[in-house]
Amino acid sequence: MTTSKDEKSDDVLGLSGTSDALGNGLDEVSPTVFSRRDILRLGAALGLTTLGGGAFWGVLEAMAAKGPATEWFKSVCRYCGTGCGVQLGMSDGEVIEVRGDEDAHNQGKLCIKGSLLTVLNQLPGRLTTPQIRRDGTLRKASWDEAMALVAERFKQAIREAGPSSVAYFGSGQLYIEESYTANKLFKAGLGSNNVDGNPRLCMASAAVGYTKTYGKDEPPGAFEDIDHAEVFFIIGANPAECHQPVFERILSRRRQHPNTVIVCVDPRRTMTAEYADIHISPRPGSDLLLLWSMANVIVHDGFADRDFVSAHVSMQNVDGSAADWGALERFLDGYAPSKVSERLGVPAARIRELAQLFATRPATMSLWTMGLNQRVDGVALNTTMNALHLLTGQIGRPGATPLSLTGQGNACGGVRDTGSLAHLLPHGRLITNPAHRAEMEQHWGVPAGRIAPTPGLDALELFRAMEDGRVRCLLNVCTNPGQSMPNLGRYEEAMKRAFVVVVDAFEDTATSRFADVVLPAAMWIEKEGVYGQTERRYQLLEKLLEAPGEARSDLEILVDFAERMGLADLISARTPAEVWEEYRNLSSHSKYDFSGMTRERLREAHGLQWPCPTEDHPGTARRYIPGDPFVREGRDIDFYGTPDHKARIFLTPYEDRSDPVDADFPLILTTGRIVEQWHTGTMTDRIPEIREATPRGHFELCEGDAVPLGLQDGDRALVTSRYGALEGPVKVSRSPRPGTLFAAFYDAHWLVNKVVTDRCDPTSKQPDYKTTAVHVEKVRT
């Protein structure tokens, strides 16, 4: 949709207030004085302390501006699950300017990466033709030749070893229409439930945690709650770097309401911790001790809302039996602050302070992401985080809510909602539930019993199945497991043993090195589709550009594949609009109902939140309270996802199942992201302004750990775990707590995940990227 240019944004360089953040005027700051990384980080500081996410645009203009736009279009950022609305200025078929959409939930703010979307579709290294590996080398091929080979090999595998010998590995970056089609094609068409992907690596524990607690996936609250919260409890997340517009909104709330308190729980002194009012740094792997210790204070010191719990909550022991309030008190006895303080590395008084703050302020909002999810106890951490809100009644009011942040642009809508994981079917249905399978077989028009009753292989097991020959063919779409999988050396070898098809927008990725066929894909606004982000917000991205060369949309590729596999009748919806209509109507049979989100509404709206059951429904910001269409009349809160309409608290004890630290492996390696780069760097590390501004892969450790090892800033170290070893430069920093190393994983030439454990949560099957035990030694030159 074309929109009028926002005249106010012409004055984005009216930088009154920037001197407060810098200690001098911005006129003293210029790209000739600072390094590129200084400029990008300065932009983050400006965005987070004065004018919001777009305030540093003038600094970046010197690097990225291309001239005046003649037309403006509404769209959505390509990157994370925040789902920021953007206005794209175009001229002569090219994006030449990007601005935050002031009518979208991000209120005109953008992060560093979003502000450089102008260059995204023109990055070097785009795939433009299909390729087939011949004599060990990928060589150009025609679409017909490449797709004929793919279909032949998949048919052969199914014929010889059955449907479970083929698999699909997808992405939280594909559009809803694409993931939905792939899920339907494999589960109802090919008969394989081996449908999984990178959301298993980042959000599976959050999804399981919500489902166990409320009976349905996805958060009960929204970003709007930021504008009402008085306490922000941020744990296992670094939104100042990874979700900047969200964090700017948090800081804006504190500027307007100075009594607001920001708490950051993180073993590292991150940018978020720098801005927090309270930063506590527990020992890596001990967060569940902290949460239950806070619960101990809340219950034993009288801060719990017992009336709320009695009316709206049920409790379960670890064996699944029902628990009462007395059982809760006995369970929590072992988590008194005085008993766990030493193991946590957090003073008992500080634990009591956090618990009282969380429980007694008018509205507490918790936010978390990979620091809780990517853990061997990720599900327990998620259910317990929700339990703190239930015990205190900090839910169902403006500002009072748990909210897990999402790493990828469409992991929520495109994977969790579409059921594109090995154990799921669309809209919260389960493979193991016969009624759910029968319902989907009827909706999809396939014979009864067509959907296999056994869940498929989760991400780790899928790659292990390639290792031992159970999975012979893999269709890998819009994701880069050759860089993102843990214990990477093992799974690199696994990919060598299967027939691997990679669909990607870029050549020379870490995964395409193992591909037998590579297919060129359109990206972002070179195709049309819907994103569903963190707060259940669905947004339409329209096609504004043509894809380069012979690249096709992922949906077109899937439709072609379906036809060649003899499934043209099943995959009868072939355009984004047709697939959306099928999927939208399917939602009306579920508690996810967004059948009111017509294509036309999405084209005009700046995002709609489900449930949204009718075309005149405004969407639902907060679930389980009046205004949510599924809440029963007369109920102030109604957890309708469970049979008894009560939320669940699970008394899951803390158990240290992390990679064990011992004399041979005395330190803990944790991995994550930095402000400039996104995930495996396939896109961001090709942007010159970002690549030249960020250092190559390296290890960060504190001075207290560096000195005994004889390490100084810039030295090289060999880091060894039980899974692999990697050499790299060292940065001595005050960010990691003693005993902890940090490394980002964006550098494709420095694969830190070769060192990372592939231990995982036993329920969600999500790997633990946060607590790998390592040995560090200086490399002598």
- Whether 113 is a known active-site residue: answer yes
Minimum mean pLDDT range among 26-40, 173-187, 256-270, 611-625:
26-40
667-778 CATH fold: Barwin-like endoglucanases (2.40.40)
Q: Which of 107, 173, 394, 408 is catalytic?
A: 408
Identify whether the C-beta of residue 253 lies closer than 8 Å to the C-beta of residue 224.
no
Q: Which of 365, 370, 440, 473 is catalytic?
A: 370
Rounded to whole angstroms, the Cα distance separating 116 from 417 reads 29
654-702 pLDDT, tens digit per residue, is 998 889 999 999 999 999 998 889 999 999 999 988 888 889 999 999 9
- Whether 156 is a known active-site residue: answer no
- Whether 191 is a known active-site residue: answer no
- Whether 407 is a known active-site residue: answer yes
Provide the pLDDT for residue 258: 95
**Span 134-147, average pLDDT:** 97
**Span 551-579, average pLDDT:** 98
54 pLDDT band (50/70/90 cuts)?
very low
Q: Which of 74, 109, 113, 754 is catalytic?
A: 113
Alpha-carbon separation of residue 738 from 44, 659, 700, 757 (angstroms): 27, 17, 11, 20
Phi, psi of 21 (to 5 degrees): -80, -30
Residues in the chain: 781
DSSP secondary structure code for residue 368 in this structure: E
Rounded to whole angstroms, the Cα distance separating 732 from 344 reads 24
Place of tokens 């036809």: 563
Q: Which of 63, 80, 147, 202 is catalytic?
A: 202
Residue in 338, 368, 363 with CA at minimum distance from that of residue 350: 338
Q: Is the dihedral of CA 714, 716, 721, 723 positive or negative?
A: positive
**Strand segments (E) across 331-480:** 364-368, 401-404, 424-425, 429-430, 473-477
168 pLDDT band (50/70/90 cuts)?
very high
Identify whether the C-beta of residue 197 lies closer than 8 Å to the C-beta of residue 415.
yes
Q: Where are the domains of the chain?
A: 7-119, 131-202+410-574, 204-404, 667-778
**Span 397-406, average pLDDT:** 97
Q: Which helix (H) or strand (E) holds 511?
A: none
**Span 367-380, average pLDDT:** 97
Q: Indicate if the pLDDT at residue 518 is higher than 70.
A: yes
Identify whether the C-beta of residue 718 lies closer than 8 Å to the C-beta of residue 774.
no
**Span 31-37, average pLDDT:** 38
Provide the pLDDT for residue 781: 80
Mean per-residue pLDDT of the chain: 91
DSSP secondary structure code for residue 773 in this structure: E
**Strand segments (E) across 226-355:** 231-235, 261-265, 278-280, 313-316, 322-323
Q: Which of 189, 378, 407, 607 is catalytic?
A: 407
Rounded to whole angstroms, the Cα distance separating 198 from 107 reads 29
Rounded to whole angstroms, the Cα distance separating 781 from 777 reads 13
430-442 pLDDT, tens digit per residue, is 999 999 999 999 9
User: In terms of pLDDT, which residue wins out, 49 or 637?
Assistant: 637
Provide the pLDDT for residue 68: 84
Calculate what percentage of the chain has a pLDDT beyond 70: 91
Identify whether the C-beta of residue 748 lies closer than 8 Å to the C-beta of residue 680.
yes
Q: Tokens in use for 372?
A: 């809780």
7-119 CATH fold: N-terminal domain of TfIIb (2.20.25)
Rounded to whole angstroms, the Cα distance separating 737 from 664 reads 20
Q: Indicate if the pLDDT at residue 115 is higher than 70.
A: yes
Rounded to whole angstroms, the Cα distance separating 526 from 540 reads 13
Minimum mean pLDDT range among 41-55, 126-140, 491-505:
41-55
CATH of domain 204-404: 3.40.228.10
Provide the pLDDT for residue 690: 87
Rounded to whole angstroms, the Cα distance separating 393 from 180 reads 36
Give me the residues paired with residue 364 across strands.
231
Other beta carbons within 10 angstroms of residue 442's beta carbon come to: 11
Provide the pLDDT for residue 66: 65
Provide the pLDDT for residue 689: 82
For residue 666, cis peptide bond before it (omega within 30 degrees of 0)? no
451-471 pLDDT, tens digit per residue, is 999 999 999 999 999 999 999
- Whether 370 is a known active-site residue: answer yes
Note the pTM of the prediction, 2 decimals.
0.92
Q: Tokens in use for 191?
A: 């008969």
Provide the pLDDT for residue 65: 55
532-553 pLDDT, tens digit per residue, is 999 999 999 999 999 999 999 9
CATH of domain 131-202+410-574: 3.40.50.740
- Cα–Cα–Cα angle for 757, 758, 759, rounded to 5 degrees: 95
Rounded to whole angstroms, the Cα distance separating 235 from 267 reads 10
Provide the pLDDT for residue 508: 93
